[in-house]
Amino acid sequence: MHSNLVQQITTQLETAFGIPRRQEPGKPLDSLILTILSQSTNDRNRDAAYRQLVEQFPDWETLMNAPVEQVARAIRTAGLSNQKSARIQEALRWIYSTYHTFDLAFLCDMEPQQVIDTFMQLKGVGIKTISVVLMVTCGVDIFPVDTHVHRICKRLGLVPEKAGAEKTHHLMQPLVPKGKAYSLHMNFLKLGRTICKAQKPACRLCPISNLCPSAKME
């Protein structure tokens, strides 16, 4: 049964890497913008771009109404800055026209599925992005599937090789032990960044190699 396997994977990763501590939850909109900035870059570049946004645009309204080129210049360090600047401004416009506020604290009181369905109407906000917001800022027990998590789930045989990220999201939710979505997500990120890299996974160093059908131990 895959759910027993995921339980064992979760436990072994917690033994190897520890139980990840939750950080300060922050605000949903900050988390949404950070997640848009984080696409295809590392945390350092994402945070540098975010700092620039905060420094150059004193509030969300100013950022929403700024020339898109100016926003792109501010977030250059995060890469894909033309695409990301347009997405950020689109997101802000949609949020403001839908909710008439930039304070999205109320999202945490909504049904998570309703939040997902609503925000997935927004271009550039996929199920991963909104799941991260729900997990990080609302403390929802949801398991976001980013590029590392997706790759590892496939290598572990938890989802079919051809499953896309969204399908993997749906297949994984019932398999993750209750209350462990944050732990498993964060430990998969750590595993994906350090050992189970896209190119040449270092299976000999992997704390879950005994559970992995893709393990190459030579």
Nearer to ligand SF4, 130 or 156 (CB): 156
Within positions 181 to 210, which residues make up the interface with ligand SF4, using CB under 6 A? Answer: 195-196, 201, 203, 206, 208-209
Residue of 155, 169, 180, 185 that binds ligand SF4 (CB under 6 A) = 155
Instruction: Quickly count: other Cβ atoms within 10 Å of residue 139's Cβ.
Output: 12
Kindly state the smallest distance separating residue 150's Cβ from ligand SF4, in Å: 12
Answer yes or no: are the C-beta atoms of 53 and 44 closer than 8 Å.
Answer: no
159 is a site residue for ligand SF4 (CB under 6 A): no
> Which run of H or E residues covers position 83?
helix 81-99
CA distance 88 to 63: 9
128 is a site residue for ligand SF4 (CB under 6 A): no
122 is a site residue for ligand SF4 (CB under 6 A): no
Q: Is residue 77 packed enough to be buried (19+ CB in 10 Å), middle (13-18) or exposed (0-12)?
A: middle
Answer yes or no: are the C-beta atoms of 137 and 28 closer than 8 Å.
Answer: yes
Q: Could you tell me how many residues of this chain bind ligand SF4 (CB under 6 A)?
A: 13
Nearer to ligand SF4, 80 or 203 (CB): 203
